[in-house]
Amino acid sequence: MEKKLIIANWKMHYGPIKAGAWIRAFRRERLPKDLDVAVAPPFISLASVRASLGRASIPALASQDVYWEMEGKFTGEVSPPMLEELGIQYCLVGHSERRKHFGETNETARKKAIALQAVGISPVLCVGETVVERRDGNALKTVRAQVRAGIKGVKPDGKAPLHIAYEPVWAIGSGRACSPHDIREMHEAIRGILRKAYGAKASDVRVLYGGSVDEHNILEYMTTSGIDGALVGTASLDPAAFGRLCRASIVT
Ligand code: PEP
């Protein structure tokens, strides 16, 4: 397995000016060499982040969303080639907030993932159960269905390998992180589906965890077997705290 990956998801925070300032501050942070780090700003701030990075390749750029058509009459949307022009490396699809507020489904997430791979951008398919689904004993069933539907036609490997982020909805932004035991159980189930779909190539897919990860609990997650990285929302908004989180994620 390659390096672990941490993606900062800023959600709807930081327009172009503040985003540029974040990057300039973050570039002063010392980062572990054995770690991939990416930042996912809002669409409107992607160009400013790219400009503030200059020639630096760390953090890599990620997008929070995309539309699946390459061009056309789709007012307000952003296409995969537009992201590719800016050197975007990763793009979230199927984030639970998009599923909840904007009608994202397994099918739209899948179409976005396929369109992204066509232009060389790695899709990060987000999956996770609600609190009711967990309470009713349906967590595994829900996540298995999301993964099976979301990866149809999506390649595990190549220039833009698939990534999966397991993010229990009840753990996102709640301060109630999932226990490493429960994450391991879910990641094993996800790996089982990937092995069935992709055979040996399944090991090219990094499976991340997201949900109330911070600088204090990151190491426990990153040292839990089967977790290949983290998707971090709230704890990524402060560049110094996010720098500490990245350093705390690896035993040196
Ligand atoms: C997220 O929205 O992807 C996320 C993980 O948020 P938080 O870290 O705030 O729980």
Strands (E), the chain: 4-9, 35-40, 60-63, 90-93, 122-127, 163-166, 206-210, 229-232
pLDDT tens-digit profile of 38-64? 999 999 999 999 999 988 889 999 999
pLDDT tens-digit profile of 132-159? 999 999 999 999 999 999 999 999 999 9
Which pLDDT score, from 0 to 100, does residue 1 have? 56
pLDDT tens-digit profile of 161-179? 999 999 999 999 999 989 9
Catalytic, 95? Answer yes
Q: Is the CB of 9 under 6 A from ligand 1?
A: yes
pTM above 0.85, yes or no: yes
- CATH topology for 4-248 is TIM Barrel (3.20.20)
Q: Residue 2, Cβ neighbours under 10 Å: how many? A: 11
pLDDT band at 25 (very low <50, low <70, confident <90, very high): very high
Q: Is the CB of 213 under 6 A from ligand 1?
A: yes
User: Cβ distance 126 to 95 under 8 Å?
Assistant: yes
DSSP state of 71: S
Centre of ligand 1 from the C-alpha of residue 210, in Å:
6
CA distance 78 to 222: 33
Catalytic, 129? Answer no
CA distance 236 to 180: 21
CA distance 6 to 246: 7
User: Cβ distance 65 to 91 under 8 Å?
Assistant: yes
